[in-house]
Amino acid sequence: MTYDLVVIGGGPAGVAGALTAALAGLRVALIDSGARLGGQYFRHAAAHGTGHAAESGLARFLRLGERLGERADLLLRHQVWHISQNDGGDFTVHCNGPDGGPVAVRARRLLIATGAHDRPLPFPGWDLPGVLTAGGAQALLKGNGVVPGRRVVVGGTGPFLLPVATGLAEAGARVLGVYEANGGLGLARHPLLAMGKAGEAAGYAATLARHLVPYRTRRAVVAAHGEREVQAVTVARLDQDWNVLATRVVECDTVAVGYGFVPQIELGLQLGCGTRQDVDGSPVLSVDSAQRTTVPGVWAAGEPTGVGGWQLSELEGRIAGRSIAERPVAGVLTRRRDRGRAFGAALQRAYPVKAGWQGWLRADTLVCRCEEVPLARVREARDLGATDARSVKLLARPGMGWCQGRICGYAVSCLAGEPQQPSRRPIAQPVSLGALADTADGIPDDPATDPVDDPAH
Amino acid sequence: MTFHITIDGRQVPVVPGQTIGAALHAAGVRSWRTTRFGGRPRGLFCGIGVCFDCLISVNGRAPERACLLEAAPGDEVTTS
Amino acid sequence: MSDVIVVGAGVVGAACAYYAARAGLDVTVIDRGPVAGGTTGSGEGNVLVSDKEPGPELELAVLSNGLWRSLAERHDRQAGPGAHGGFEFEAKGGLVVAETDEIQRRLVELAAEQGLEHVLVSGPELRDYEPRLAEGLAGGVLYPQDAQVQPMLAAARLLRDGADSFGRGTLHLRLGVTVTGFVHSGERVTGVRTSHGDVLGGAVINAAGTWGGEVAALAGVTLPILPRRGFILVTEPLPEPLIKHKVYTAAYVTNVASDSADLETSAVVEGTPAGTVLIGASRERVGFDRTTSVPVLARLAAQAVALFPALREARAIRSYCGFRPYCPDHLPVIGADPRLPGLYHACGHEGAGIGLAPATGHLLAQVLTGQTPDLDLKPFRPDRFSEDSP
Ligand SMILES: Cc1cc2nc3c(=O)[nH]c(=O)nc-3n(C[C@H](O)[C@H](O)[C@H](O)COP(=O)(O)OP(=O)(O)OC[C@H]3O[C@@H](n4cnc5c(N)ncnc54)[C@H](O)[C@@H]3O)c2cc1C
Ligand SMILES: Cc1cc2nc3c(=O)[nH]c(=O)nc-3n(C[C@H](O)[C@H](O)[C@H](O)COP(=O)(O)OP(=O)(O)OC[C@H]3O[C@@H](n4cnc5c(N)ncnc54)[C@H](O)[C@@H]3O)c2cc1C
Ligand code: FES
């Protein structure tokens, strides 16, 4: 069986796209590696309390998810590791099924809605347990109901630090400070205000004030200390370019840091989709006004086309769904999307990553956590004639390990002195050789399509 | 409503739906493997399946990402 | 002005530059990309003698094998023991295994003809050498000389050591510079035109690998070098080393020498110092198409698992592909081009360029300094193809 549409990603973009297309009569399957729909923003615990569900549209999202479950096949706990285009022009989506076995799904059209992940920057001690990405801290809270620590420091750049810090504070963590590396303005003149998000910004400000959480700009966590886990961090005052001006030590048991997001575009790259550079330099998939990529039959929506928040992702998903179903796209939708994109671009401009972070590293600071490559080895590779990130990787191994450079890729590009290039990852998720070998004698086509009983839970 | 899993024989409570990584982290177990070269402790970092820091062996299987894997009653995990 | 200009900073160009500088020549190496950014950055690092049929390539391989060893020793004399040459040199030995008695008989015959150091291994003994091998294999032959290097590091080290160490010749590296044509003076080649101006030299070595034919064409001569695609699968680092030698099936030997354009795969499995297992090797002639082929990856996985059942649980985390520089007779092109004085070639090493690089560089340095090369270069001569064609 070949689906009219297979959507990869069950966040706001993927769910909106799948539902829109399904309502227009298409046979749709949606694949996500998670156990529940939601993606990053609508991540929720299996047994979520009502209070949480009412917040920020989660209840609405869950209803959309339920409607989708009635009209489409939901393949949850399926990790897509490769998509190939067949001779006839249709596509085969190769997944690891819930038990690790191979599952292949055929599609006439595809929607790539794989979201983004945090963009961390390395600093001494960043690999100590207790140092989490901002998104990681939030995922513990939202998806598992676990407060990540008692005394938490939040650092990085961008408006995303605010929901993370407020979430932590409201869940009972003592947030010792939010350290925003950019902006000299402070919360009262946060760029969110200038972008018509005054209500949102004020809400965060009020929550932080209520919990006595200091919000400090031009500050960053530049080192973490501890033996087997983090016990303290060095917080630095920064100049405009993020060079350290002065430091002090803050005792804490948990750190949540994030410097923006990295769009996940590798499935598009596998198919040969064209890319462009986003405002912050991230490679993203190029799409036209109807969210079509440069490869016929392949659409993309949400963060793989550029980061701009969940509402934008959802809008893009809806537009893609209409376009995939060959229905007209209302002008009001595209106009809202274009405004959303302008907003996303403005945020990226307001929260750039400045080169001074490289000065936070010591020779023995790990740049690549998987292969344990310290800065000194990256420098040695450059000395040996590595003039770009790929050859730094070939000579010193950063990015060759499990995460495939997702975590260190941005830093390595900066250290190699080149803009980030799209990373080819022909194997997007680890696949066991046994499962791969079994693929050789014909793939179990048509997964049992056991629509997971209750999609939203 | 909670059930238990064990880590190296020690019991850790789990709220249904929690991942193994979240349950361990909540119980104060913040690292469960060490790196190949430097022997550095590792636990959760990205929390969403991207970094592979949180690899853990469950019921004797090859290591999997603890932040993605939902805990099931009676799961036995081992540190390495 | 340099004595020698080397076009290409892959492992072959690096070896040419290294031995030329060591022989006292002033060398400039030009590459349009970084060091080892071509096929050298997308191969494996096997330094094999075992897979060569008796003949000129085997002689080249044996010479080269010895040179890799002495390069590693030379480096370690300065850097200290355990530096592995600065390029992860490991003389781990290769084990060729046979699925059937008939294949084993042929392997034994081949080993006798090659005249290399080897150990015949019976079926039951196989697991003394490789404890995790599958049951039921007929036997194999162990070649202790087979070794492994990290090709990108090897190329980079050779360029660095060539630039540093001798105090006689010099070595300049110009990266990000594309050769776009040649400078002629009368009948001779006297330099190259590049994206960054002309570079003059007494001799030009074409070490452009798979692009060697294109570079030759810029000089006005033909070399029939074509890409032969290969995929490699890489596993996650395994907790304990599963595989000690480089292990491959006999089919590998016949595929290497095959003329077919169609897909051929044979299991080549080995561990690396990083703990990962590399699984090759596929061969197909499909031009420069990089599209990942799931059927090819699946076949590689199936063959590896058939050899080492314990690999079933291991996960592949990466794959990559490269384009071997392939000549119709499977031999590299090494030596002066009689059609164009001043032009030399060192390319077309197909699936053995890493292994054969030092011998290639060493022999060319001998030619450039007027010595008699240690091996007869006739089988590798650049104009052999035009003569052969009817
Ligand atoms: C950890 C994290 C937390 C965030 N929290 C907030 C927040 O609080 N507020 C806010 O405004 N923004 C937040 N963001 C930004 C957020 O990503 C967007 O606002 C929104 O979720 C984007 O929606 P999306 O549909 O584009 O992608 P996502 O919501 O990220 O959904 C993508 C989905 O694709 C799935 N997927 C990806 N690759 C594969 C694959 N190979 N196989 C199978 N499935 C795959 C993922 O599991 C995921 O469910 C967060 C981002 C991250 C990374
Ligand atoms: C999958 C695979 C596995 C392999 N495994 C092995 C193995 O185990 N052992 C082994 O010995 N061999 C192996 N090989 C073969 C080996 O990789 C090659 O034979 C070898 O790398 C060739 O090296 P080279 O220096 O000739 O070419 P390259 O490394 O390709 O170098 C040529 C250089 O020339 C440059 N160049 C080209 N045109 C121009 C121009 N106009 N101007 C400037 N610069 C230019 C390129 O940028 C490139 O850097 C394998 C190959 C593949 C694909
Ligand atoms: S914490 Fe990053 S993959 Fe699990």
Domain boundaries, given as residue ranges, for chain B: 3-78
d(CA C389, CA C191): 30
**Contacting residues for C228 by C-beta, under 8 A, at least 6 apart:** C283, C284, C285, C323, C324, C326, C350, C351
Architecture of domain A121-258: 3-Layer(bba) Sandwich (3.50)
Give C353→chain A minimum CA distance, Å: 17
Report, as an integer, the average pLDDT of A242-251. 98
Contacting B residues, span 13-42, partner chain A, CB-CB under 8 Å: 15-19, 22-23, 25-26, 30-31, 35-38, 40-42
Residue ranges per structural domain of chain A: 2-117+261-329, 121-258, 362-416
Percent of chain C with pLDDT over 90: 79
Does ligand 3 have an atom closer than 6 angstroms to the CB of B20? no
Interior angle at CA C358, CA C352 and CA C359, nearest 5: 85
Q: What is the CATH number of domain B3-78?
A: 3.10.20.440
Task: Report the mean per-residue pLDDT for chain A.
Answer: 91
Closest ligand 2 atom to Cα of C45: 8
CB contact under 8 A, C156 and A385: yes
Q: For residue C160, is pLDDT > 60?
A: yes
* Structure ipTM over 0.90, yes or no: yes
Report which of A327, B75, A404, A384 is spatially closest to residue C158, judged by C-alpha positions.
A384
Query: C317: nearest CA in chain B?
Result: B52
User: Could you give the maximum distance between any two Cα atoms of chain B, in Å?
Assistant: 41
pTM beyond 0.90: the answer is yes
Cα angle: A257, vertex A260, A261; to 5 degrees: 110
For residue B33 and ligand 3, the question of a CB distance below 6 A is answered with no
* Ligand 1, pocket residues at CB < 6 Å: A 8-14, 31-34, 39-41, 79-80, 113-118, 135, 138-139, 160, 163, 261, 264, 302-303, 309-310, 313, 428-429; B 48
Two domains, one topology: A121-258 and A362-416: no
For residue A200, the model assigns a pLDDT of: 77
Is B10 at the interface with chain A, CB within 8 A? no
Q: Tokens for A199?
A: 């209500």
In chain C, the residue whose alpha carbon lies closest to the alpha carbon of A434 is C312
CATH 1.10.10.1100 is the classification of domain A362-416: yes
pLDDT above 70: percentage of residues in chain C: 95
pLDDT above 60 for C78: yes
Position A449 scores a pLDDT of 41
The helices-and-strands tally (H runs, E runs) of chain B is 1, 7
> Which pLDDT does position A445 carry in this prediction?
47
Q: What is the pLDDT of residues B33-65, one digit of tens each?
A: 999 999 999 999 999 999 999 999 999 998 999
Residue C103 has pLDDT above 50, yes or no: yes
Query: A with C: how many residue pairs have Cβ under 8 Å apart?
Result: 128
Q: State CA B6 to chain mean position distance.
A: 10
**pLDDT for residue A187 is more than 70:** no
Residues C287-314, mean pLDDT to the nearest whole number: 93
Regarding the beta carbon of B53 and ligand 3, being less than 6 Å apart is answered yes
- Is residue B33 within 8 Å of residue B7, measured between CB atoms? no
Question: Among C275, C293, C273, C272, which residue's Cα sits nearest to residue C284?
Answer: C293
Nearest CA to ligand 2 atom 33: C8
Residue A47 pLDDT exceeds 80: no
The domains of chain C, with CATH numbers, are 2-61+151-224+329-380 (3.50.50.60), 94-146+226-326 (3.30.9.10)
Contacts of B62 in chain A (CB under 8 A): 432
CA distance to A123, A147, A175, A321, per residue, from A164 (Å): 20, 11, 10, 31
Residue A151, both tokens: 């005394």
A2-117+261-329 is classed CATH 3.50.50.60: yes
Q: Residue B61: how many CB atoms within 10 A of its CB?
A: 11
Q: Are A312 and A333 in contact (CB under 8 A)?
A: no
Going by alpha carbons, the residue nearest to atom 2 of ligand 1 is: A135
Q: What is the predicted pLDDT for the residue at A191?
A: 62
| Closest chain C C-alpha to A257 CA, distance in angstroms | 27
Residue from A123, A126, A146, A254 to probe the interface with B (highest B Cβ count within 10 Å): A146
B29 lines ligand 3 (CB under 6 A): no
